[in-house]
Structure 1
């Protein structure tokens, strides 16, 4: 059976071979809460669908509209088997409880690199940065993330509110997703308001990151709260 956990997921778990991220639009904060309750009921009243699913986490967007889903699968094949046998019954139950959910996007990724500040701070806010390129290029994805790490490591004024950053590469070669943990939403807001262009000082290495060839978006940024964790 599914068991709830308040612990944030470990995105660096080496068993995760196929992390999936997806987003829904539900419309209002009340419908966010109703949808999360419906998800919990649909999962907790059924057996855990597969040993290859390590965890499933849901996040409520600070915009009062969106939900983010993060599923930790060992392989894409295990996910496809779940879709064939177990997914639809859960979807139907959730849609009956909360009609009109818009399922916006499902992304298949691989974890690439992570950085974490020393210390045991508990995340108070999760920030998702979604970066897109003008076409598939796996080498460019990796090179861009490596350039971000170079800029971070050489930044003379790193904001103290950041806890971690976990970079994922889309399997189609067109996107990079950074799952970043912050001490609070206000800490992230303060970092964005600091001198410079977004997170990061006005250094040449950050300018290189923001003007990377083929970069379509320097990053759509959304803040979330972790509201539901399910594990076997």
Structure 2
């Protein structure tokens, strides 16, 4: 069976070999709430669809118009098997309840590095998704850029309060990096972004290297609130 959970996903669980992220554009806060409830109802009335799906999580964008979806799969093959048998009936039922959902895209990732303090127990009040896109596919550049971020973090002279963890994922097509960052609150993240510097880092050579890395095409930042967690019962 399928059950709801209020527990945030464990991003570092080793068996999650294929973490997927997707975005839906729904238009308004009211439609955000209606879509989340429709997803919950659609999934809860059905058996858990696949042993290879470890958890499915939905987050409401602070912009009031989007939903972020995070699915932890054991492998891409498990996801492909789900698509063949179970996905469409769920999509159809949700679309009947909330017509006009725009499914922007689905991106496939692999987790590369995480930064978590030993013994960290704070529950995130905000999830910040930072997406980095590069000019063309280059897996080595993906890893090198993330390594540069860790160098900047480790040398940061004025760490911003409120950050809990950061989990860097590399897209399987070699073109993007996604940082799933947990913060105490959206206010803490806003304060970090508004502090002197560019983004959450100070004006240091290490952060300048991150921000001007060769081949970096664009970056986006979105704040989200945990809205729904679904796991096998």
Deviation at 1:117, TM superposition (A): 3.0
Report the aligned-residue RMSD. Answer: 0.6
Gaps of 5+ in 2: none
Gaps of 5+ in 1: none
Deviation at 1:105, TM superposition (A): 1.0
Residue 48 of structure 1 corresponds to which residue in structure 2?
48
Residue 192 of structure 2 corresponds to which residue in structure 1?
191
TM (normalized to structure 2)?
0.98
Whether the aligned pair in 2 keeps the contact of 1:117 and 1:162 (CA below 8 Å) is: no
Counterparts of residues 10-21 of structure 1 (less than 5 Å):
10-21=10-21
Residue 177 of structure 1 corresponds to which residue in structure 2?
178
| Structure 2 Cα separation of the partners of residues 182 and 152 of structure 1 | 15
| Structure 2 Cα separation of the partners of residues 222 and 75 of structure 1 | 27
> How many residue pairs get matched?
231
Deviation at 1:116, TM superposition (A): 1.2
Deviation at 1:160, TM superposition (A): 1.5
Residue 26 of structure 1 corresponds to which residue in structure 2?
26
Structure 1 segments, 4+ long, off by >3 Å, are: none
| Structure 2 Cα separation of the partners of residues 14 and 50 of structure 1 | 18
Counterparts of residues 16-165 of structure 1 (less than 5 Å):
16-118=16-118, 119-165=120-166
- SS of 1:197's partner is coil
Structure 2 residue 208 is matched with structure 1 residue 207: yes
Residue 2 of structure 1 corresponds to which residue in structure 2?
2
Residue 227 of structure 1 corresponds to which residue in structure 2?
227
| Structure 2 Cα separation of the partners of residues 125 and 3 of structure 1 | 23
| Structure 1 Cα separation of the partners of residues 160 and 210 of structure 2 | 18
TM (normalized to structure 1)?
0.99
Residue deviations 1:128-149 (CA, integer Å, cap 9, x gap): 0000000000000000000000
